[in-house]
Amino acid sequence: MAFEIVVIGTSLGGLSALKILLGNLPADFLVPIAIVQHRHKESNNTLQELLQEYTSLPIREVEDKDEILPGHIYLAPADYHLLVEPGHFALSTDEPVSYARPSIDVLFESAADVYSQQVIGVILTGANQDGMQGLKKIKSLGGLTIVQEPATAESEVMPEAAISAVAVDWILTLSNIASQMVKLCHSSRK
């Protein structure tokens, strides 16, 4: 069974975590990756530029109705929820969830609704509980769940909340998350 999407959620400490994770992915990693990184609503596209230095995979900030393409990394724009729909993304300005817009839960739950067991959900460092409900939904619909080892996170709150709420499949360091994603996604393509 092939995975359709990897969804990643992170908050405090996320930039340095994403640099390591994305930097450890090979150039032939084909499963699309969608990322919610909590950030200020006034923030510009420097996140995309900063992360692009660490990976050869193309990174872009999502625009409404963007097609989901293999081998691409997608960032939720500041102050918009990012939702997965069949074959494309949608953006929404609905109320914040867990005080956040973009919300990790919104991304994860919409991905689970569309692709159920073909989703890999990843929670990284962060200082709130966002992502916990979304990860729970991915797991309940048969998707796979990975959480950053809390001791290695800049902020343990988000990984610990996810681990307390979900029987996660793997609890790993950042570089091991990347290699686990590669293992899962390459074996599913064969």
Q: Which residues are catalytic?
A: 11, 38, 130
Check: CB of residue 32 under 8 Å from CB of residue 5: yes
Check: CB of residue 179 under 8 Å from CB of residue 170: no
Q: Phi/psi class of residue 137: alpha, beta or left (left: φ > 0; alpha: ψ in -120 to 50)?
A: alpha
Query: 104 by DSSP, 3-state: which?
Result: helix
Distance, in Å, from the CA atom of 128 to the CA atom of 182, rounded to the nearest integer, reads 28
